[in-house]
Structures are given as structure tokens and as C-alpha cells.
């Protein structure tokens, strides 16, 4: 091997290569292999296959890390890394993408949209997420972010004939581009400080300047704007409710978990990397933002009558909880974020999948009224929804409790008692609006007798999310160990 390319590079990059390859292949096969449009749903098979290869690459990385006993492999001269952190988050992306993809074919049929572009866009977005979790260089990270964001802009507006979808995409694009600008500006300041785009070198330069150096503060402020926008933290959350409501429900699900998980990974890379030494400067600000995020998310969710919008606000509040783990900043907190992101992925996906089943020909199916009396019609779906909502609220023995448990524990350990009390009390607020949905499902009478639109993929995806949401709650040990491998120092 020469100096530009080594076998390690290949080894670290392989999941992203697989995703990009299969994403392109799906576009090609659309015309070449399946000229008959009715057959195009089989393209899903290639997505799953690609994910399989990507997953194999991840598994390979994981087992080598274990066997060699090293914390990480770096590649491309320190711009990419395969460590427990990147592998953990990539597993989440794989799971989220597969789950969303297998429920999508029925949904796309109902909406009458193309399959190929949809699946390949998902894979491209996931490719971007890979770089967000594995990148250790500003340029790599930025490209990863843009790849993910651009794919999502298109996917949010995927329903070409729907005004809501178009409006949501436009809003998301404009605000997203704006925030990317801030981020790029912050990155340029970091480069200015250190003369390098490598996170490690920036970290050294920032540490040398101290947390309250004006340039460091400038970099911190502008970078934070970009990052907080991505995880939809207050006051940069305005795009989320509109984008969530307008986007196709499957994409809303995908956006709310995969994009958020990738952005959290990205945020952790930056805040625990280059900006780690500036903790004194950002901790109070982030604490304020976290409380504001939980407050706005929880209070705004109370009065929503559109369930997608309600879940959008709830997902804003979850971002607040995740930020709290970063504020605590000890191992428990960081592990807590990993656990939180993992359980959030399954429970939030699950909740949106039930909404996907409510979308039928001619029925939008995302209002409180649409879900009324679901228990009478489809008790299985109603009970699963109950499980996901309990988990989102953090009631044991569901998985969501464990996420909150770690966050609360980390706050106690680092003596952030006030934050802990606020965070716990918002659980009670959250249960109020989640139980508005529960009330509608279980207590109200059936208003819409049309059966749910289900498919094998949807049932499978719901079963997996449900089993994991309950299973992680009842026997979390293996999952906690997995999350424990993701610690980032």
C-alpha cells in the first residue's frame, strides 16, 4: 500500500462504501432490472442487502477492536475513525434505516410515489450519518452533515403533490442552509485558531487559549448554533414541528430518530473533542438551553391536536434530556446519551409507525380524532402505541426509563440537583400529553371504521420496535454493555 491509502482506510470506510454503492445501484436497477413499475418495490431487497453488508463491515470493525484490544482505528490520516462510539451509532443508523425502509413500500404505494429514489436517498443520508459519527476532521464532518441534510431536504418534500410536504421541505431547506452557514463559519474560526482541521489538533489549540478567549467563544457560539439547530434545541427548533408535520410520516420517523442520533453524535464529537476544554464557557449556556428545550417542547406539546406535531414537540423535549447528559459530562452522562439515543430510536420509531398504519387511501390519519377508539378496532396497535408512549414518557419497565435513569443519575453524580429536579418533573408533564393520545385510543369511541393499512413489513417493524422497547426495559444488560463500549473521552 502507498502512503495515500492503507488497508485500515478501507477497513474503516467499508460501511460507507457499501451504503453509497447500493444507493447508486438501486437508482440504476430501477431502470435496468425492473422496467415494470409494479416490480419496483423489490428494490427494497437491495436496500436491506446493502444494509447487511454495511452491518457486516461494522461487525467486522467491532470484533477486530475487541480482538486487538485497541480503542480505535484511524484512517485517512486521522480524518476518519472506527471506535466504539462510531460503531455504536452506526448500528443505530442501520437499525433505523432498515425499520423505516421496510414499512415504506406500502406507504409509498398509498402515496403513489417512486420507490427507487426514496430508498437510495435513505442510503445516501445514512452514508452522511456514517461520516458524522466516524469523522474526526472538520471537512469530513461537514461533508457528512451536508450529505445527510441534502438527502433529508429532498425526502421531506418527497410528496410532490402535497402542499404541506413542499412547504415543509422549503422551510427545512432554508433554515437548514442558514444553520449550516453558521456551522461553517464556526469551523473556519476553529481552523483559524489551530491551523488544522483535525479535531485533536484543534482541541490542543483551544486548550492553549483557554475557555474565555474571544476567538474560542466566537467559534463556540457559531458552531453551537449549527449543532443545536440539527438536534432541534430551543431556540433553534422552529423548523421541527413544520418539517415533521409536512414530511411523509415514514420520513418524519426517520428524521426524528436517525437524523437526531447522527446530530447528537456529531455534537458529542465536537463538544467532547475540540471544545472539551472550554467546558466552563459552554456548560452554563447549554444547561440553560437544555432547560429551555425541555420547557418549550413539553409545554407546546400539551395543546397539539395533530399527533405528528405533538410527537415533534416531544422529540424536541427529548433533545433537551440528551443535552443534560452532556452537561453532566461524566461517563454516566455520556453513556446515558448513548442509551437514550438507542432507546429513543426504537420507541419513537414505533410511535410513528403506528401513525403510518393510520394513513390510508383518502385518510390522512394523524389527528387525535383519527386515532380515537383504536383499541376497539385494532387492540394490538393500540397496546403497542401505549407501550411506546409509556416508554417515551420514561415509565418503567419500558426502555425509555433506562435512558432517563442514566441522565438523572449523571446529574445527581455531578451535583446538578436543580437540573435533575426540573428534568424529573417534566416527566409528569410529558405523561399528560402522551396520555391524551392514550385517552383517545382507549376511552373514546371509534370514529373511523376503515381498517388500518398494514403490511408484512409494518407488522415486522412494529414487532421489532415493540419487543426492543419492552425487552430493553426488562432485560437491559446486553444493551447497556453495548452502550458502554461507546464511551468517548
Partner 1 sequence: MNDHLLSLVLFTPLAGLLVLLFIPSRQKELIKVWANLASFAGFLISLPLVSRFDKGVSGFQFVERANWIPSLGAQYLIGIDGISLLLIMLTTVIGFIAILSSWNAIQDRLKAYYCMFLLLQVGMLGVFMSLDFFLFYVFWELVLVPMYFIIGVWGGPRKLYAAIKFFLYTLAGSVLMLLGILTLYFQYASQFGKYTFEIAELMKLTLPLGLQEWVFWAFFLGFAIKVPMFPFHTWLPDAHVEAPTAGSVILASVLLKMGTYGFIRFSLPLLPKASMDHTIVEVLAVLSIVGILYGALVSLMQKDWKKLVAYSSVSHLGFCTLGIFAMNPNGLAGSVLQQINHGISTGMLFLIIGVVYERRHTREISEYGGLAHVMPKYAVIFAIAILSSAGLPLLNGFIGEFTILQGAFEANRAWAAFAVTGVVFGAAYLLWLYQRTMLGQVTNGKNLHLPDLSLREIAVFLPLIVWAIWIGVYPKPYFDILEKPVQQIVERVRPGYYQGGAQAATRPGPGVSGQ
- Kindly report whether the peptide bond that precedes residue 480 is cis, defined as omega within 30 degrees of 0: no
Choosing from 93, 189, 408, 453, the residue that interacts with partner 1 (CB under 8 A) is 408
DSSP track, 10-50 = HHHHHHHHHHHHHHHHHHHHHHHT--SGGGGGGHHHHHHHH
Choosing from 154, 217, 480, 487, the residue that interacts with partner 1 (CB under 8 A) is 480
Per-residue interface string for the shown chain with partner 1, residues 146-185, x marking contact by CB under 8 A: ----------------------------------------
DSSP track, 363-415 = B---BTTTTTTHHHH-HHHHHHHHHHHHHHHT-TTSHHHHHHHHHHHHHHHTT
- Count of alpha carbons within 13 angstroms of residue 34, beta-carbon side: 19
> What cell numbers appear for 124 in the block?
445516501
482 near partner 1, rule: CB under 8 A: no
**Whole-number minimum distance, CB 484 to partner 1, in Å?**
7
Is the separation of the CB atoms in 457 and 357 below 8 Å?
no
Whichever of 200 and 485 has its CB closer to partner 1, that residue is 485
412 near partner 1, rule: CB under 8 A: yes
**Using CB under 8 A, which residues numbered 315 to 374 contact partner 1?**
none
Q: Stretches 74-82, 173-181, 267-275, 417-425: which one binds partner 1 (CB under 8 A)?
A: 417-425
**Whole-number minimum distance, CB 56 to partner 1, in Å?**
27
**Whole-number minimum distance, CB 99 to partner 1, in Å?**
25
55 near partner 1, rule: CB under 8 A: no
- Cell 447528559 locates to 325
Beta bridge partners of 232: none
Q: Stretches 224-232, 274-282, 350-358, 392-400: which one binds partner 1 (CB under 8 A)?
A: 392-400
**Using CB under 8 A, which residues numbered 456 to 475 contact partner 1?**
475
Choosing from 25, 80, 343, 409, the residue that interacts with partner 1 (CB under 8 A) is 409
276 near partner 1, rule: CB under 8 A: no
Choosing from 13, 395, 437, 464, the residue that interacts with partner 1 (CB under 8 A) is 395
Choosing from 12, 148, 233, 420, the residue that interacts with partner 1 (CB under 8 A) is 420
Query: Cβ–Cβ contacts within 10 Å for residue 208, how many?
Result: 12
Instruction: Choose among 386, 370, 381: nearest CA to 449.
Output: 370
Whole-number Å distance between alpha carbons of 225 and 400: 28
Helix or strand (DSSP H, E) at 83: strand 80-83
The packing angle between helices 307-328 and 417-442, to 10°, is: 160
3-state secondary structure 349-376: HHHHHHHHHHCECCECCCECCCCCCHHH
In 272-378, which ranges are continuous DSSP H helix? 279-302, 307-328, 331-358, 374-377
299 near partner 1, rule: CB under 8 A: no
Query: Cβ–Cβ contacts within 10 Å for residue 212, how many?
Result: 10
**Using CB under 8 A, which residues numbered 422 to 441 contact partner 1?**
424-425, 427-428, 431-432, 435, 439
Whichever of 101 and 420 has its CB closer to partner 1, that residue is 420
> What cell numbers appear for 481 in the block?
454493555
290 near partner 1, rule: CB under 8 A: no
Whichever of 112 and 451 has its CB closer to partner 1, that residue is 451
The site for partner 1, by CB under 8 A, has a size of 30
Choosing from 128, 144, 336, 476, the residue that interacts with partner 1 (CB under 8 A) is 476
**Whole-number minimum distance, CB 427 to partner 1, in Å?**
5
**Residue 21 C-alpha from the chain's centroid:** 23
What are the residues binding partner 1 (CB under 8 A)?
A: 375, 390, 395-397, 401, 405, 408-409, 412-413, 417, 420-421, 424-425, 427-428, 431-432, 435, 439, 442-443, 475-477, 480-481, 484
Amino acid at each position: 500500500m502507498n502512503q495515500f491509502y492503507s488497508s485500515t482506510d478501507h477497513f474503516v470506510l467499508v460501511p460507507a462504501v457499501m451504503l453509497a454503492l447500493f444507493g447508486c445501484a438501486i437508482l440504476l436497477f430501477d431502470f435496468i432490472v425492473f422496467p415494470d413499475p409494479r416490480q419496483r418495490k423489490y428494490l427494497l431487497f437491495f436496500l436491506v442487502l446493502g444494509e447487511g453488508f454495511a452491518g457486516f463491515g461494522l461487525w467486522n470493525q467491532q470484533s477486530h477492536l475487541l480482538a486487538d484490544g485497541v480503542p480505535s482505528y484511524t484512517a485517512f490520516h486521522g480524518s476518519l475513525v472506527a471506535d466504539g462510539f462510531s460503531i455504536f451509532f452506526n448500528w443505530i443508523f442501520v437499525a433505523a434505516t432498515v425499520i423505516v425502509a421496510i414499512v415504506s413500500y406500502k406507504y409509498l404505494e398509498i402515496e403513489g410515489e417512486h420507490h427507487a429514489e426514496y430508498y437510495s436517498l435513505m442510503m445516501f443520508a445514512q452514508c452522511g450519518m456514517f461520516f458524522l459519527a466516524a469523522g474526526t476532521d472538520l471537512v469530513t464532518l461537514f461533508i457528512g452533515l451536508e450529505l445527510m441534510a441534502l438527502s433529508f431536504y429532498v425526502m421531506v418534500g418527497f410528496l410532490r403533490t402535497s402542499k404541506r410536504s413542499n412547504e415543509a421541505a422549503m422551510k427545512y431547506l432554508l433554515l437548514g442552509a442558514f444553520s449550516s452557514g453558521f456551522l461553517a463559519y464556526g469551523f473556519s474560526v476553529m481552523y483559524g485558531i489551530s491551523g488544522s482541521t483535525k479535531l485533536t489538533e484543534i482541541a490542543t489549540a483551544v486548550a492553549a487559549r483557554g475557555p474565555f478567549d474571544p476567538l474560542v467563544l466566537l467559534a463556540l457560539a457559531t458552531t453551537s448554533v449549527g449543532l443545536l439547530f440539527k438536534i432541534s434545541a430551543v431556540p433553534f427548533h422552529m423548523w421541527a414541528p413544520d418539517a415533521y408535520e409536512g414530511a411523509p410520516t415514514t420520513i418524519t420517523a426517520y428524521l426524528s430518530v436517525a437524523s437526531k442520533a447522527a446530530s447528537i453524535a456529531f455534537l458529542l464529537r465536537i463538544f467532547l473533542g475540540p471544545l472539551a476544554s472550554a467546558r466552563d464557557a459552554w456548560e452554563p449556556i447549554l444547561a440553560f438551553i437544555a432547560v429551555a428545550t425541555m420547557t418549550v417542547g413539553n409545554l407546546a406539546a400539551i395543546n397539539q391536536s395533530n399527533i405528528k406535531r405533538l410527537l415533534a414537540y416531544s422529540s424536541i423535549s427529548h433533545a433537551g434530556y440528551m443535552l443534560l447528559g452532556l452537561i453532566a459530562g461524566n461517563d454516566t452522562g455520556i453513556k446515558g446519551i448513548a442509551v437514550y439515543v438507542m432507546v429513543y430510536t426504537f420507541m419513537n420509531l414505533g410511535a410513528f409507525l403506528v401513525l403510518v398504519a393510520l394513513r390510508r387511501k383518502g385518510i390522512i390519519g394523524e389527528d387525535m380524532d383519527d386515532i380515537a377508539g383504536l383499541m376497539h378496532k385494532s387492540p394490538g396497535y393500540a397496546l403497542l402505541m401505549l407501550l411506546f408512549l409509556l416508554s417515551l414518557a420514561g415509565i418503567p419497565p419500558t426502555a425509555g426509563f433506562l435512558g432517563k435513569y442514566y441522565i438523572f443519575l449523571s446529574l445527581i453524580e455531578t451535583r446538578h440537583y436543580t437540573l435533575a429536579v426540573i428534568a424529573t418533573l417534566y416527566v409528569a408533564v410529558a405523561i399528560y400529553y402522551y396520555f391524551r393520545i392514550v385517552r383517545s385510543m382507549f376511552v373514546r369511541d371509534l370514529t373511523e371504521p376503515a381498517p388500518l393499512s398494514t403490511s408484512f413489513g409494518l407488522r415486522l417493524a412494529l414487532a421489532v420496535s415493540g419487543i426492543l422497547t419492552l425487552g430493553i426495559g426488562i432485560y437491559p444488560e446486553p444493551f447497556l454493555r453495548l452502550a458502554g463500549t461507546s464511551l468517548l473521552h
